[in-house]
Amino acid sequence: MRVVEHTGSTVTGSIEQEEIALPQGLLGEIAAYFFNQAPYPNKTIALAGAIGFFSGIVGQKYNTPTGNGLNTYNLVLAHTGRGKEAIAEGADKLLQAIVGKVHAGEPGAPCAASFRFPGHFASSEGLMKWLANKSSCGFSIQGEFAAKVKAMHSPKAQANQVALLALYLDLFNKSGDGKFLNGMAYSDEAKNTAPVESPALTIIGESTFDLFEGLDQRAISNGFLTRFNVFHTEAPRPYLNPNVGALAPNPLVERLRGITATCASYSALSPAIRVSINAEAQARLIACERQATDFVNAGGSNVHAELWNRAYLKAVKLASLIAVGVNEHNPVIDLAAANYAIELVAKQTTWLTSKFESGDVGEEGGNESKQRAHILKTMANYFGHEMDWGNSDRVLRLNGIIRQSYFQSMMSRYPAFKDDRRGATAAIKAMLYSMSENGEIQPAEAVSMSSLLQKKSKARAYYLAEPKIIEPYWPADSNFCNVWEFFGTINP
Protein backbone atom coordinates (compact mmCIF):
# COMPACT_ATOMS: atom_id res chain seq x y z
CA MET A 1 0.00 0.00 0.00
CA ARG A 2 1.05 3.54 -0.63
CA VAL A 3 1.07 6.41 1.87
CA VAL A 4 0.60 9.90 0.45
CA GLU A 5 2.21 12.58 2.61
CA HIS A 6 1.94 16.35 2.62
CA THR A 7 2.43 18.83 5.47
CA GLY A 8 2.23 16.14 8.10
CA SER A 9 -0.98 14.50 6.87
CA THR A 10 -1.18 10.95 5.56
CA VAL A 11 -3.65 8.80 3.72
CA THR A 12 -3.14 5.11 3.12
CA GLY A 13 -4.47 3.91 -0.20
CA SER A 14 -4.50 0.54 -1.91
CA ILE A 15 -4.15 1.90 -5.43
CA GLU A 16 -1.36 4.06 -6.80
CA GLN A 17 -2.38 7.69 -7.04
CA GLU A 18 -1.52 9.98 -9.93
CA GLU A 19 1.83 11.70 -9.56
CA ILE A 20 0.65 15.26 -9.04
CA ALA A 21 2.72 17.63 -6.96
CA LEU A 22 0.76 19.97 -4.72
CA PRO A 23 1.74 23.65 -4.62
CA GLN A 24 3.71 25.17 -1.78
CA GLY A 25 2.12 27.07 1.09
CA LEU A 26 -1.48 27.29 2.22
CA LEU A 27 -2.94 26.29 -1.14
CA GLY A 28 -1.08 22.99 -0.96
CA GLU A 29 -2.19 22.50 2.66
CA ILE A 30 -5.84 22.97 1.70
CA ALA A 31 -5.42 20.45 -1.13
CA ALA A 32 -3.80 18.01 1.30
CA TYR A 33 -6.77 18.38 3.67
CA PHE A 34 -9.28 17.84 0.85
CA PHE A 35 -7.34 14.72 -0.10
CA ASN A 36 -6.99 13.36 3.43
CA GLN A 37 -10.66 13.68 4.41
CA ALA A 38 -12.10 12.34 1.13
CA PRO A 39 -13.91 8.98 1.06
CA TYR A 40 -12.01 8.10 -2.13
CA PRO A 41 -8.93 10.34 -2.20
CA ASN A 42 -7.78 11.68 -5.56
CA LYS A 43 -5.04 14.29 -5.80
CA THR A 44 -6.36 15.91 -8.99
CA ILE A 45 -9.81 16.38 -7.47
CA ALA A 46 -8.31 17.64 -4.21
CA LEU A 47 -6.17 20.22 -6.03
CA ALA A 48 -9.14 21.47 -8.07
CA GLY A 49 -11.23 21.81 -4.90
CA ALA A 50 -8.46 23.65 -3.06
CA ILE A 51 -7.93 26.16 -5.88
CA GLY A 52 -11.66 26.84 -6.09
CA PHE A 53 -12.07 27.10 -2.32
CA PHE A 54 -9.10 29.43 -1.81
CA SER A 55 -9.82 31.69 -4.80
CA GLY A 56 -13.43 31.91 -3.64
CA ILE A 57 -12.19 33.52 -0.44
CA VAL A 58 -9.28 35.67 -1.64
CA GLY A 59 -10.50 36.41 -5.17
CA GLN A 60 -11.70 39.94 -4.44
CA LYS A 61 -9.25 41.13 -1.80
CA TYR A 62 -6.12 40.15 -3.72
CA ASN A 63 -5.19 41.08 -7.29
CA THR A 64 -2.59 39.80 -9.73
CA PRO A 65 0.41 42.04 -10.51
CA THR A 66 -1.55 43.14 -13.59
CA GLY A 67 -4.66 44.13 -11.60
CA ASN A 68 -6.99 41.16 -12.15
CA GLY A 69 -8.89 39.59 -9.29
CA LEU A 70 -8.05 36.03 -8.24
CA ASN A 71 -11.43 34.43 -8.86
CA THR A 72 -11.15 31.27 -10.95
CA TYR A 73 -13.40 29.02 -13.01
CA ASN A 74 -12.59 25.35 -12.46
CA LEU A 75 -13.93 22.20 -14.09
CA VAL A 76 -13.38 18.71 -12.66
CA LEU A 77 -13.83 15.77 -15.03
CA ALA A 78 -13.82 12.23 -13.67
CA HIS A 79 -15.77 9.03 -14.10
CA THR A 80 -18.76 8.33 -11.84
CA GLY A 81 -17.87 7.22 -8.33
CA ARG A 82 -14.33 8.59 -8.38
CA GLY A 83 -14.76 11.05 -5.50
CA LYS A 84 -15.86 14.38 -7.01
CA GLU A 85 -18.30 14.83 -4.12
CA ALA A 86 -15.32 15.18 -1.76
CA ILE A 87 -14.91 18.80 -2.92
CA ALA A 88 -18.26 19.91 -1.51
CA GLU A 89 -17.82 17.82 1.64
CA GLY A 90 -14.33 19.13 2.27
CA ALA A 91 -15.32 22.74 1.60
CA ASP A 92 -18.27 22.55 4.01
CA LYS A 93 -16.19 20.98 6.79
CA LEU A 94 -13.44 23.53 6.38
CA LEU A 95 -15.87 26.46 6.33
CA GLN A 96 -17.60 25.18 9.46
CA ALA A 97 -14.24 25.00 11.20
CA ILE A 98 -13.35 28.54 10.12
CA VAL A 99 -16.72 29.88 11.28
CA GLY A 100 -16.18 28.18 14.63
CA LYS A 101 -18.77 25.40 14.70
CA VAL A 102 -16.17 22.65 14.96
CA HIS A 103 -13.35 24.07 17.02
CA ALA A 104 -15.56 25.06 19.94
CA GLY A 105 -14.31 27.60 22.42
CA GLU A 106 -12.01 29.29 19.92
CA PRO A 107 -12.74 32.64 18.31
CA GLY A 108 -14.14 31.89 14.88
CA ALA A 109 -14.72 33.94 11.75
CA PRO A 110 -18.49 33.96 11.10
CA CYS A 111 -17.92 36.01 7.95
CA ALA A 112 -16.56 32.87 6.28
CA ALA A 113 -20.08 31.58 5.70
CA SER A 114 -20.72 34.36 3.18
CA PHE A 115 -18.14 32.90 0.78
CA ARG A 116 -20.26 29.78 0.10
CA PHE A 117 -22.56 30.53 -2.85
CA PRO A 118 -25.53 28.41 -3.97
CA GLY A 119 -24.75 25.47 -6.23
CA HIS A 120 -27.26 26.53 -8.85
CA PHE A 121 -28.50 29.80 -10.31
CA ALA A 122 -31.65 29.53 -12.39
CA SER A 123 -31.18 32.90 -14.05
CA SER A 124 -28.86 35.85 -14.45
CA GLU A 125 -31.28 37.90 -12.32
CA GLY A 126 -30.89 35.47 -9.43
CA LEU A 127 -27.10 35.59 -9.60
CA MET A 128 -27.08 39.39 -9.89
CA LYS A 129 -29.30 39.76 -6.83
CA TRP A 130 -27.06 37.43 -4.84
CA LEU A 131 -23.97 39.45 -5.76
CA ALA A 132 -25.68 42.78 -5.06
CA ASN A 133 -27.53 41.89 -1.88
CA LYS A 134 -25.84 38.88 -0.25
CA SER A 135 -22.16 38.54 -1.11
CA SER A 136 -19.98 39.76 -3.98
CA CYS A 137 -17.17 37.24 -3.40
CA GLY A 138 -17.37 33.49 -3.07
CA PHE A 139 -17.38 30.07 -4.71
CA SER A 140 -20.21 28.04 -6.21
CA ILE A 141 -19.81 24.24 -6.38
CA GLN A 142 -22.01 23.11 -9.25
CA GLY A 143 -22.76 19.43 -9.76
CA GLU A 144 -23.95 17.91 -13.05
CA PHE A 145 -22.14 20.73 -14.79
CA ALA A 146 -22.27 19.03 -18.19
CA ALA A 147 -26.05 19.46 -18.35
CA LYS A 148 -25.75 23.15 -17.52
CA VAL A 149 -23.05 23.78 -20.12
CA LYS A 150 -25.03 21.98 -22.81
CA ALA A 151 -28.23 23.84 -21.91
CA MET A 152 -26.49 27.20 -22.20
CA HIS A 153 -24.91 26.30 -25.56
CA SER A 154 -27.82 24.53 -27.16
CA PRO A 155 -29.16 26.07 -30.40
CA LYS A 156 -32.52 25.90 -28.63
CA ALA A 157 -31.28 27.44 -25.38
CA GLN A 158 -33.92 29.34 -23.42
CA ALA A 159 -33.55 33.07 -22.93
CA ASN A 160 -32.66 32.73 -19.24
CA GLN A 161 -29.86 30.27 -20.09
CA VAL A 162 -28.44 32.59 -22.75
CA ALA A 163 -28.49 35.49 -20.29
CA LEU A 164 -26.84 33.41 -17.56
CA LEU A 165 -24.07 32.37 -19.96
CA ALA A 166 -23.47 36.02 -20.88
CA LEU A 167 -23.21 36.93 -17.19
CA TYR A 168 -20.74 34.11 -16.48
CA LEU A 169 -18.59 35.35 -19.36
CA ASP A 170 -18.70 38.92 -18.07
CA LEU A 171 -18.02 38.08 -14.44
CA PHE A 172 -14.75 36.30 -15.07
CA ASN A 173 -12.95 39.59 -15.75
CA LYS A 174 -14.78 41.88 -13.31
CA SER A 175 -13.08 40.99 -10.02
CA GLY A 176 -10.15 43.41 -10.28
CA ASP A 177 -10.02 46.42 -7.97
CA GLY A 178 -12.01 49.37 -9.36
CA LYS A 179 -14.03 47.30 -11.84
CA PHE A 180 -17.82 47.18 -11.84
CA LEU A 181 -20.52 44.84 -13.03
CA ASN A 182 -23.37 46.90 -14.43
CA GLY A 183 -26.72 46.54 -12.75
CA MET A 184 -29.95 45.36 -14.38
CA ALA A 185 -32.97 47.51 -15.11
CA TYR A 186 -36.54 46.21 -15.43
CA SER A 187 -39.89 47.73 -16.27
CA ASP A 188 -40.75 46.96 -12.66
CA GLU A 189 -38.27 49.23 -10.86
CA ALA A 190 -38.53 47.17 -7.68
CA LYS A 191 -36.61 44.42 -9.45
CA ASN A 192 -33.69 46.63 -10.49
CA THR A 193 -30.22 45.71 -9.25
CA ALA A 194 -27.41 48.13 -8.51
CA PRO A 195 -23.91 47.91 -10.01
CA VAL A 196 -21.58 45.58 -8.09
CA GLU A 197 -18.01 46.62 -7.37
CA SER A 198 -15.35 44.00 -8.19
CA PRO A 199 -17.59 40.91 -8.02
CA ALA A 200 -15.45 37.79 -7.60
CA LEU A 201 -17.38 34.68 -8.59
CA THR A 202 -15.47 31.40 -8.49
CA ILE A 203 -17.01 28.31 -10.06
CA ILE A 204 -16.16 24.69 -9.30
CA GLY A 205 -18.01 22.59 -11.85
CA GLU A 206 -18.18 18.81 -11.49
CA SER A 207 -18.87 16.51 -14.43
CA THR A 208 -18.10 13.21 -16.07
CA PHE A 209 -16.43 13.06 -19.48
CA ASP A 210 -19.94 13.09 -20.98
CA LEU A 211 -19.47 16.85 -20.98
CA PHE A 212 -17.87 16.56 -24.41
CA GLU A 213 -20.75 14.68 -26.00
CA GLY A 214 -22.99 17.05 -27.88
CA LEU A 215 -20.73 20.02 -27.13
CA ASP A 216 -19.39 21.86 -30.13
CA GLN A 217 -16.88 24.61 -30.80
CA ARG A 218 -19.23 27.37 -29.68
CA ALA A 219 -18.18 26.72 -26.08
CA ILE A 220 -14.64 27.60 -27.19
CA SER A 221 -15.32 30.39 -29.66
CA ASN A 222 -17.39 32.34 -27.11
CA GLY A 223 -14.59 31.98 -24.54
CA PHE A 224 -16.57 29.98 -21.99
CA LEU A 225 -14.47 26.81 -21.66
CA THR A 226 -11.26 28.75 -22.18
CA ARG A 227 -11.93 30.55 -18.91
CA PHE A 228 -11.80 27.25 -16.98
CA ASN A 229 -8.94 25.40 -15.40
CA VAL A 230 -9.88 21.91 -16.62
CA PHE A 231 -8.82 19.15 -14.23
CA HIS A 232 -9.26 15.64 -15.56
CA THR A 233 -8.48 12.30 -13.96
CA GLU A 234 -8.98 8.74 -15.04
CA ALA A 235 -7.26 7.24 -12.02
CA PRO A 236 -8.93 4.11 -10.62
CA ARG A 237 -10.94 4.45 -7.45
CA PRO A 238 -9.00 3.50 -4.30
CA TYR A 239 -10.46 1.58 -1.39
CA LEU A 240 -12.48 3.57 1.17
CA ASN A 241 -10.29 5.94 3.15
CA PRO A 242 -10.20 4.97 6.86
CA ASN A 243 -9.67 8.68 7.70
CA VAL A 244 -12.79 9.84 5.86
CA GLY A 245 -14.29 13.00 7.34
CA ALA A 246 -11.19 13.91 9.33
CA LEU A 247 -11.22 17.35 10.94
CA ALA A 248 -8.97 20.06 9.57
CA PRO A 249 -5.73 20.64 11.52
CA ASN A 250 -5.89 23.58 13.94
CA PRO A 251 -2.96 25.49 12.32
CA LEU A 252 -4.72 25.36 8.94
CA VAL A 253 -8.01 26.55 10.43
CA GLU A 254 -6.42 29.39 12.36
CA ARG A 255 -4.51 30.70 9.38
CA LEU A 256 -7.61 30.56 7.20
CA ARG A 257 -9.55 32.47 9.84
CA GLY A 258 -7.05 35.30 9.62
CA ILE A 259 -7.12 35.43 5.82
CA THR A 260 -10.92 35.19 5.79
CA ALA A 261 -11.23 38.17 8.13
CA THR A 262 -8.83 40.14 5.92
CA CYS A 263 -10.77 39.29 2.77
CA ALA A 264 -14.12 40.19 4.34
CA SER A 265 -12.78 43.72 4.87
CA TYR A 266 -12.75 44.58 1.16
CA SER A 267 -14.28 48.00 0.47
CA ALA A 268 -13.45 51.35 -1.05
CA LEU A 269 -11.69 52.21 2.23
CA SER A 270 -9.84 48.88 2.30
CA PRO A 271 -9.03 48.11 -1.34
CA ALA A 272 -7.40 45.08 -2.90
CA ILE A 273 -3.86 43.97 -2.13
CA ARG A 274 -1.83 43.63 -5.30
CA VAL A 275 0.50 40.62 -5.46
CA SER A 276 4.12 41.44 -6.32
CA ILE A 277 6.47 39.43 -8.52
CA ASN A 278 10.23 38.96 -8.46
CA ALA A 279 12.45 39.35 -11.50
CA GLU A 280 12.92 35.63 -12.21
CA ALA A 281 9.22 34.90 -12.06
CA GLN A 282 8.38 37.92 -14.17
CA ALA A 283 10.78 36.82 -16.89
CA ARG A 284 9.29 33.32 -16.83
CA LEU A 285 5.72 34.61 -17.09
CA ILE A 286 6.63 37.03 -19.88
CA ALA A 287 8.11 34.11 -21.80
CA CYS A 288 4.90 32.18 -21.12
CA GLU A 289 2.77 35.03 -22.46
CA ARG A 290 4.85 35.29 -25.61
CA GLN A 291 4.69 31.56 -26.23
CA ALA A 292 0.92 31.58 -25.75
CA THR A 293 0.67 34.51 -28.16
CA ASP A 294 2.72 32.57 -30.71
CA PHE A 295 0.32 29.64 -30.33
CA VAL A 296 -2.62 31.99 -30.84
CA ASN A 297 -1.08 33.56 -33.94
CA ALA A 298 -0.01 30.21 -35.39
CA GLY A 299 -3.26 28.45 -34.57
CA GLY A 300 -4.54 26.66 -37.60
CA SER A 301 -8.06 26.83 -36.23
CA ASN A 302 -10.08 29.18 -34.09
CA VAL A 303 -10.29 26.48 -31.43
CA HIS A 304 -6.51 26.28 -31.06
CA ALA A 305 -6.16 30.05 -30.87
CA GLU A 306 -8.98 30.51 -28.37
CA LEU A 307 -7.73 27.77 -26.05
CA TRP A 308 -4.34 29.43 -25.68
CA ASN A 309 -5.82 32.93 -25.54
CA ARG A 310 -6.32 32.93 -21.75
CA ALA A 311 -3.50 30.60 -20.75
CA TYR A 312 -1.34 33.46 -19.51
CA LEU A 313 -4.11 35.03 -17.43
CA LYS A 314 -4.94 31.70 -15.82
CA ALA A 315 -1.27 31.08 -15.05
CA VAL A 316 -0.85 34.51 -13.44
CA LYS A 317 -3.97 34.02 -11.32
CA LEU A 318 -2.79 30.61 -10.13
CA ALA A 319 0.73 31.85 -9.39
CA SER A 320 -0.80 34.74 -7.41
CA LEU A 321 -2.96 32.33 -5.40
CA ILE A 322 0.15 30.35 -4.50
CA ALA A 323 1.93 33.55 -3.45
CA VAL A 324 -0.96 34.60 -1.21
CA GLY A 325 -0.89 31.16 0.38
CA VAL A 326 2.80 31.51 1.14
CA ASN A 327 2.58 35.01 2.65
CA GLU A 328 -0.79 36.74 2.78
CA HIS A 329 0.73 39.93 4.24
CA ASN A 330 3.32 40.43 1.49
CA PRO A 331 2.55 38.02 -1.35
CA VAL A 332 5.27 37.74 -3.99
CA ILE A 333 5.25 35.41 -6.98
CA ASP A 334 8.57 33.57 -7.07
CA LEU A 335 9.99 31.31 -9.76
CA ALA A 336 8.62 28.16 -8.11
CA ALA A 337 5.07 29.56 -8.10
CA ALA A 338 5.37 30.76 -11.69
CA ASN A 339 6.71 27.42 -12.91
CA TYR A 340 4.01 25.45 -11.11
CA ALA A 341 1.22 27.60 -12.52
CA ILE A 342 2.59 27.66 -16.07
CA GLU A 343 3.16 23.91 -16.19
CA LEU A 344 -0.32 23.12 -14.87
CA VAL A 345 -2.09 25.49 -17.25
CA ALA A 346 0.00 24.32 -20.23
CA LYS A 347 -0.77 20.68 -19.46
CA GLN A 348 -4.49 21.37 -19.19
CA THR A 349 -4.59 23.51 -22.34
CA THR A 350 -2.67 20.94 -24.38
CA TRP A 351 -5.04 18.20 -23.24
CA LEU A 352 -8.16 20.21 -24.03
CA THR A 353 -6.72 21.21 -27.42
CA SER A 354 -6.15 17.54 -28.23
CA LYS A 355 -9.78 16.74 -27.35
CA PHE A 356 -11.04 19.24 -29.91
CA GLU A 357 -8.47 18.54 -32.60
CA SER A 358 -9.03 14.79 -32.38
CA GLY A 359 -12.77 15.22 -32.84
CA ASP A 360 -13.62 13.91 -29.35
CA VAL A 361 -15.78 16.96 -28.70
CA GLY A 362 -19.24 17.13 -30.14
CA GLU A 363 -21.37 14.18 -31.19
CA GLU A 364 -24.30 15.73 -33.02
CA GLY A 365 -25.45 14.05 -36.19
CA GLY A 366 -23.76 15.33 -39.35
CA ASN A 367 -20.72 16.77 -37.54
CA GLU A 368 -18.12 16.21 -40.27
CA SER A 369 -15.07 16.81 -38.08
CA LYS A 370 -16.40 14.20 -35.67
CA GLN A 371 -17.14 11.78 -38.49
CA ARG A 372 -13.62 12.14 -39.88
CA ALA A 373 -12.13 11.61 -36.42
CA HIS A 374 -14.10 8.37 -36.00
CA ILE A 375 -12.74 7.10 -39.31
CA LEU A 376 -9.16 8.01 -38.38
CA LYS A 377 -9.47 6.31 -34.99
CA THR A 378 -10.97 3.22 -36.60
CA MET A 379 -8.07 3.00 -39.05
CA ALA A 380 -5.51 3.50 -36.28
CA ASN A 381 -7.01 0.68 -34.22
CA TYR A 382 -7.35 -1.53 -37.30
CA PHE A 383 -3.69 -1.24 -38.24
CA GLY A 384 -2.39 -0.94 -34.67
CA HIS A 385 -3.94 -4.16 -33.29
CA GLU A 386 -3.79 -7.71 -34.53
CA MET A 387 -7.26 -8.49 -33.08
CA ASP A 388 -9.06 -11.73 -33.96
CA TRP A 389 -8.84 -11.45 -37.71
CA GLY A 390 -10.28 -13.79 -40.26
CA ASN A 391 -7.77 -14.96 -42.87
CA SER A 392 -8.97 -12.57 -45.56
CA ASP A 393 -8.91 -9.50 -43.35
CA ARG A 394 -5.45 -10.43 -42.01
CA VAL A 395 -4.13 -10.51 -45.57
CA LEU A 396 -5.70 -7.13 -46.35
CA ARG A 397 -4.42 -5.56 -43.16
CA LEU A 398 -0.86 -6.72 -43.82
CA ASN A 399 -1.11 -5.03 -47.19
CA GLY A 400 -2.37 -1.76 -45.77
CA ILE A 401 -5.97 -2.20 -46.96
CA ILE A 402 -9.22 -1.80 -45.02
CA ARG A 403 -12.68 -2.77 -46.25
CA GLN A 404 -15.51 -0.24 -46.41
CA SER A 405 -17.74 -2.83 -44.73
CA TYR A 406 -15.40 -2.74 -41.73
CA PHE A 407 -15.97 1.02 -41.33
CA GLN A 408 -19.73 0.48 -41.54
CA SER A 409 -19.74 -2.28 -38.92
CA MET A 410 -17.65 -0.22 -36.50
CA MET A 411 -19.13 3.25 -36.90
CA SER A 412 -22.85 2.96 -37.57
CA ARG A 413 -23.50 3.12 -33.82
CA TYR A 414 -21.90 6.53 -33.35
CA PRO A 415 -24.43 9.41 -33.16
CA ALA A 416 -22.30 11.48 -35.56
CA PHE A 417 -23.25 8.93 -38.26
CA LYS A 418 -26.38 7.34 -36.80
CA ASP A 419 -28.15 10.68 -36.36
CA ASP A 420 -27.01 12.09 -39.70
CA ARG A 421 -30.08 13.01 -41.73
CA ARG A 422 -28.73 10.95 -44.68
CA GLY A 423 -28.51 7.80 -42.59
CA ALA A 424 -25.39 6.11 -41.20
CA THR A 425 -24.43 4.14 -44.32
CA ALA A 426 -24.73 7.10 -46.67
CA ALA A 427 -22.86 9.37 -44.24
CA ILE A 428 -19.98 6.89 -43.91
CA LYS A 429 -19.72 6.52 -47.69
CA ALA A 430 -19.79 10.31 -48.14
CA MET A 431 -16.97 10.86 -45.64
CA LEU A 432 -14.84 8.12 -47.20
CA TYR A 433 -15.42 9.65 -50.62
CA SER A 434 -14.45 13.10 -49.31
CA MET A 435 -11.24 11.76 -47.78
CA SER A 436 -10.50 9.96 -51.05
CA GLU A 437 -10.98 13.18 -53.01
CA ASN A 438 -8.57 14.90 -50.60
CA GLY A 439 -5.93 12.24 -51.26
CA GLU A 440 -5.91 10.95 -47.67
CA ILE A 441 -7.13 7.48 -48.65
CA GLN A 442 -7.16 5.74 -52.01
CA PRO A 443 -9.63 3.16 -53.36
CA ALA A 444 -8.19 -0.34 -53.72
CA GLU A 445 -8.66 -1.70 -57.24
CA ALA A 446 -10.85 -4.79 -57.65
CA VAL A 447 -8.01 -6.57 -59.51
CA SER A 448 -5.64 -6.02 -56.58
CA MET A 449 -8.24 -7.20 -54.07
CA SER A 450 -8.94 -10.37 -56.09
CA SER A 451 -5.22 -11.09 -56.35
CA LEU A 452 -4.64 -10.71 -52.64
CA LEU A 453 -7.67 -12.75 -51.64
CA GLN A 454 -7.08 -15.32 -54.43
CA LYS A 455 -10.69 -15.09 -55.45
CA LYS A 456 -12.87 -12.66 -57.35
CA SER A 457 -13.81 -9.70 -55.17
CA LYS A 458 -15.93 -6.64 -55.78
CA ALA A 459 -15.76 -5.44 -52.18
CA ARG A 460 -14.99 -1.75 -51.85
CA ALA A 461 -11.86 -1.07 -49.84
CA TYR A 462 -9.21 1.61 -49.30
CA TYR A 463 -5.48 2.14 -48.93
CA LEU A 464 -4.24 4.71 -46.43
CA ALA A 465 -2.39 7.12 -48.74
CA GLU A 466 -1.18 9.43 -45.94
CA PRO A 467 -0.24 7.38 -42.83
CA LYS A 468 0.59 10.56 -40.91
CA ILE A 469 -3.12 11.41 -40.57
CA ILE A 470 -3.69 8.53 -38.12
CA GLU A 471 -0.51 9.19 -36.12
CA PRO A 472 -2.35 11.23 -33.41
CA TYR A 473 -4.78 8.33 -32.92
CA TRP A 474 -2.24 5.50 -32.79
CA PRO A 475 -3.18 3.18 -29.88
CA ALA A 476 -0.75 3.24 -26.98
CA ASP A 477 -1.11 -0.52 -26.45
CA SER A 478 -0.15 -1.45 -30.03
CA ASN A 479 2.72 -3.87 -30.57
CA PHE A 480 4.12 -1.25 -32.95
CA CYS A 481 5.63 1.88 -31.42
CA ASN A 482 4.04 4.14 -34.04
CA VAL A 483 2.26 4.16 -37.35
CA TRP A 484 5.52 4.35 -39.28
CA GLU A 485 6.83 1.13 -37.74
CA PHE A 486 3.70 -0.71 -38.82
CA PHE A 487 3.74 0.60 -42.37
CA GLY A 488 7.38 -0.35 -42.64
CA THR A 489 6.30 -3.99 -42.31
CA ILE A 490 3.50 -4.14 -44.85
CA ASN A 491 3.94 -5.75 -48.22
CA PRO A 492 4.86 -3.33 -51.05
Residues 6+ apart with CB under 8 A from 379: 402, 464, 470, 473
Measuring CA to CA, which residue among 355, 349, 382 is closest to residue 369?
355
Contact in structure between 316 and 68 (CB atoms under 8 Å): yes
Strands annotated E in 219-303 = 228-233, 273-274, 276-277
pTM for this prediction = 0.75
> Looking at the DSSP assignment, which residues form a beta bridge with residue 137?
200
Write down the number of H helices and E strands in the chain: 19, 15
- Tens of pLDDT, residues 301-341: 567 788 899 999 999 999 999 999 999 999 999 999 999 99
C-alpha to C-alpha distance for 8 and 387, rounded to whole angstroms: 49
Examine the pLDDT at 15 and tell me if it is beyond 50. no
How far, in Å, are 110, 163, 199, 379 from residue 133 at the CA level? 18, 20, 12, 57
Cβ atoms of residues 239 and 2 within 8 Å: no
- Of the pLDDT bands very low, low, confident and very high (cuts 50, 70, 90), residue 256 is very high
Q: What is the mean pLDDT of the chain?
A: 85
Percent of the chain with pLDDT over 90: 49
